[in-house]
Amino acid sequence: MTRFLDVPSTSKLIAQIGVPRCLSELVDELENDYRRWADFDKSPRVACHSRDGVIELMPVADSKLFAFKYVNGHPVNAQRGLHTVMAFGALGDVDTGYPVLLAELTLTTALRTAATSVMVAKRLARRNARKMALIGNGAQSEFQAIGFHTLLGIDEIRVFDIDTHATDKLVRNLAAFPRLKLVRARSTAEAVRGADIVTTVTADKAYATIITPEMIEPGMHLNAVGGDCPGKTELHEAVVRMGRVIVEYEPQSRIEGEIQQLPADFPVVEFWRVLQGEVAGRENATQITIFDSVGFALEDYSALRYLHACALQHGAGDDISLVPPAADPKNLFALIAEHGPASCVESVTDAFEQVV
């Protein structure tokens, strides 16, 4: 049987555990999996681009489990009353090929993206970071804010979005965290001024320049989350050149990240090397560090594995028959025939006579 987690069951499960705890435990899972980077069969995601967006498949596997995610990115959907990003995914047993989990991943992707941001910022941001700018106050923003506040000690966030209703929503949703000071900025520049960490989570499918060189201050850590497909960026090219750039998986980041604006030989560092201690993340207190985040399948592997374990522990979701029973693996037709083989034959015969 395959465990199935739809949106209601996943929402209930996350609420039961609590968002801060989910984020904390996901950071641990992500770190454990990134530390065994060499164990995974990796490839850039497969993308199908259209005028209004992109649909992607993100596969990854180790010797035990295979994971994939179906995810879209359609910025125009907000005007249609639809989600800009939505996803589902599966976890399969490598030895048999059998799926063990089929799950919604829209909520879970928001969690794992925020957890990834925190995981990287732990190694790149200055230790005394307390102020963050959050540019883009849409679906991902609460998760980023909660993660940085509860896990990294950020106590002030300056928020800005060109859609003031999105900012209203963010402020309302974060009222449950009274120790977090929210400051509404009137522009990106105002939000960024004096920030230790700058997180961008915008959703415009264009070469945007949300952050420009004059906004940058010594020692800033930039967490560029929103730029995630060819032709879409958030940082001015000159900003990217100013910093030490950390990526998840370089072959994919070259196609979809902020570094797509730069020559193929522009130096970057894959994060797993920082985590394993091969290279330093931040080299000094005044250095500009940039996490050019595009989202990588390994993070979904971690999230799916975590989600599956939580579902089993808390009894969430349902077991479904996604794969036929194997009473006689060579007799697949029997599954149909047991429901009335005569009617099957008769319907085929009737159809044949009509054609003749």
Supply the residues annotated as catalytic. Answer: 228
Total residue count of the chain as it appears in this document:
356
145 Rama class: left (phi>0) / alpha (psi -120 to 50) / beta: alpha
Distance CA(83)–CA(73), nearest Å, equals: 9
Distance CA(317)–CA(10), nearest Å, equals: 8
With CA atoms as reference, report the closest residue to 58 among 40, 75, 76: 40
Handedness of CA 26, 29, 32, 36 (dihedral sign): negative
Q: Give helix then strand counts, H and E, for the chain.
A: 12, 17
Phi and psi dihedrals of 261, rounded to 5?
-80, -15
With CA atoms as reference, report the closest residue to 183 among 289, 219, 148, 195: 195
Which residues touch 37 (CB under 8 Å, ≥6 apart)?
A: 270, 272, 276, 298
Distance CA(34)–CA(187), nearest Å, equals: 36
With CA atoms as reference, report the closest residue to 67 among 96, 35, 100, 39: 100
Give the CA distances from residue 238 to residues 16, 175, 241, 250, 261, in Å, rounded to whole numbers and listed in that order: 44, 37, 5, 20, 10
- C-beta neighbour count of 269 within 10 angstroms: 16
